[in-house]
Amino acid sequence: MKKMNFAILLAVCLMGFISCTEIDDSILIGHIKNVKIETSKWKNDTKGVYSLIHDDFGIPNANGIIDYADSIAKAHDVKFGFAIITNEVDENEWAIAKKMITNGHEPINHTHRHYCGHDVSWCPSQVWGVDDFDIEIDLSHQLILENTGITPLFFAFPFDQSTPEMISYLKSKNYLGARAGAFTQDLNPDFLNDSDTPYFQLKFYAHGPGVPIENLSKSASLAVEKGMWAIREVHGVADGSWGPIPKDDYINHMKAIQELQEKGDLWISPPSSVMKYLETNKHTSYTQNQVGTVLNISLMYDGNSDLSSEVTLVLEIPKEIEVKSIVSDTNEEIKYVKGADNTIQVNVNPAIVKALEVDFKYY
């Protein structure tokens, strides 16, 4: 019946009684009504997320972070976090830290003196507690801000030792989260994080002496397989740090995760960017309204605009049509990426962009 009606319309059109453009628009309008929209769990609609954190930036025996990790990661389009021991950083290393930040790496507060959070027999350093918060948290925080211009939002506890009092204090200082949850050196999906894992209980893998090198890349693959967030704690590269990674093995790891990233399976990001994405996603809602051949998407954001980030909108589109253009409420053309199964991905910050106008055409 539909084919017959279309044939009749086409004949009437060809005889000049109605506009053929009207027929085309009528059919296009019908297809646009079937467009579906959702926000992606992870940025760029990837299957999983991977955060690599290099501990102990500043101490001489972890110099491989500066000598190798930064440049190798940059060459493979990988961005990591680097946890700074501020008492160990000199003027030259602060300059290097700023360069690493321009390469997309995130400075992380790793205390001022790298003391242990508990009095345990194996800890090689002194112990810090409530009386040391002004030094180990506040001073370290201030030095990172003054020397890099970046306000640290994530905290990595030395020796992975923390107390509830430390975590409460970090929350009061407006930190987003900390590497303070359960950890392992084995590969186990129980140590992955879902999008609802509390940010001050983030679980992670620690790469130390005797841990198989393959576990570095396998943890990223496990995140893809399970649709979750893997955090990997490492130290230096080809240096004297704890559990250093040989240079060639580090390059191979970068190649492995870069491949997953280029396939669209893995989002590689320092931790604060992941937390900002998750929080922005939770505080974003939208409505869609069709006006003729244009689909209008209104975005509402009720979160902290200072901590907002882009979120990924995924539009599932009927195979007969495709996007012609997307324009924001500020009249800027918005870039989009074609995904699988007749979808497109659009990254927008809802604290900035309040509306999108999506124009369509026939495929």
Q: Please, what is the average pLDDT of the chain? A: 93
Do 91 and 35 have their domain in common?
no
pLDDT above 80: residue 10:
no
Please report whether residue 18 resides in a domain: no
Identify the pLDDT of residue 2: 40
Identify the pLDDT of residue 340: 82
Please identify, among 208, 233, 263, the residue that sits at the C-terminal boundary of a domain.
263
Identify the pLDDT of residue 288: 96
Do 205 and 185 have their domain in common?
yes
User: What average pLDDT does this structure show over 46-53?
Assistant: 98
Please report whether residue 240 resides in a domain: yes
Do 239 and 289 have their domain in common?
no
Q: Is the pTM of this model over 0.85?
A: yes
Identify the pLDDT of residue 7: 46
pLDDT above 50: residue 230:
yes
pLDDT above 70: residue 12:
no
Do 357 and 225 have their domain in common?
no
Please report whether residue 22 resides in a domain: no
Q: What is the pLDDT of residues 69-96, one digit of tens each?
A: 999 999 999 999 999 999 999 999 999 9
Do 194 and 253 have their domain in common?
yes
Please report whether residue 21 resides in a domain: no
Do 290 and 242 have their domain in common?
no
Please report whether residue 13 resides in a domain: no
Please report whether residue 1 resides in a domain: no
Identify the pLDDT of residue 3: 42
Q: Residue 315: which domain range?
A: 27-43+284-362
CATH number of residue 202's parent domain: 3.20.20.370
Please identify, among 263, 295, 328, the residue that sits at the C-terminal boundary of a domain.
263
Q: What is the pLDDT of residues 339-349, one digit of tens each?
A: 888 999 999 99
Total domains, the chain: 2
Do 64 and 210 have their domain in common?
yes
Please report whether residue 292 resides in a domain: yes
Do 179 and 302 have their domain in common?
no
Q: What is the pLDDT of residues 200-223, one digit of tens each?
A: 999 999 999 999 999 999 999 999
For residue 304, count other CB atoms closer than 10 A to its CB. Answer: 13
Of the chain, the end-to-end C-alpha distance in Å amounts to 24
Do 121 and 222 have their domain in common?
yes
User: What average pLDDT does this structure show over 158-165?
Assistant: 96
Do 231 and 308 have their domain in common?
no
Do 31 and 53 have their domain in common?
no
Do 162 and 54 have their domain in common?
yes
CATH number of residue 308's parent domain: 2.60.40.1180
